[in-house]
Structure 1
Amino acid sequence: MVKNSFISVIPQEEKEENSGSAEFQVFHFTSKIRRLTLHLELHKRDFLSQRGLLIILGKRQRLLTYLSNKNKGRYKKLVDQLDIREQKTR
């Protein structure tokens, strides 16, 4: 259901072409991260879920880095829309 709410924002002609876009993948990873975070608040000793969460966080971080290098405007818009912190610059 959450996925459909994000897709409805995208115009119809772009849906078919951009279903694997970086923005959509970051949105999908963010929803998974939020679900796993809620799960880990209840089950603190679920170490396999913790490992899965760290893997997903790394994938999202790599996608955000890619997006920020390619197009800063799209990156800023996505970070604001998903209410996530911006990356630290080295």
Structure 2
Amino acid sequence: MRNNLSIRSSLVTKEQKGSVEYQIYYLTNRIIILTQHLQLHRRDYSSQRGLWKIVGKRKRLLVYLSKRDILRYNDLISQLGIRGLKTR
């Protein structure tokens, strides 16, 4: 079941383990897994807190990437299938 939830690892190569793209990819996989867990265990509040922390960290990384290189940011959110950041 876990393989069906995870995003394809072909999006990011092994040489990029420390890159912002890999970190966002890894956090997105963890968000998907935790979301599936919370659908089964609705009252697991410590997992909910962990999920919110992961979502916040991914958001900060997305903000950083959007400010540094908007083309890489747009390519990444289209590959991962996540929403972009809200603009004011």
Provide the TM-score with structure 2 as the length reference.
0.86
- Aligned positions, number: 84
What amino acid maps onto 1:41 in structure 2? Answer: Q
Which residue in the other structure is 2:71 paired with?
73
**Structure 1 ranges of 4+ moved more than 6 A:** none
Please state whether the residue corresponding to 1:32 is helix, strand or coil.
Answer: helix
Which residue in the other structure is 2:54 paired with?
56
In the alignment, structure 1 segments of 5+ residues that lack a partner are none
In the alignment, structure 2 segments of 5+ residues that lack a partner are none
Is structure 2 residue 26 aligned with structure 1 residue 22?
A: no
- Give percent identity, aligned residues only: 49
Name the CA distance, whole Å, in 2 between partners of 1:42 and 1:3.
21
Name the CA distance, whole Å, in 2 between partners of 1:37 and 1:25.
18
Which residue in the other structure is 2:9 paired with?
5
Provide the TM-score with structure 1 as the length reference.
0.84
Please state whether the residue corresponding to 2:17 is helix, strand or coil.
Answer: coil
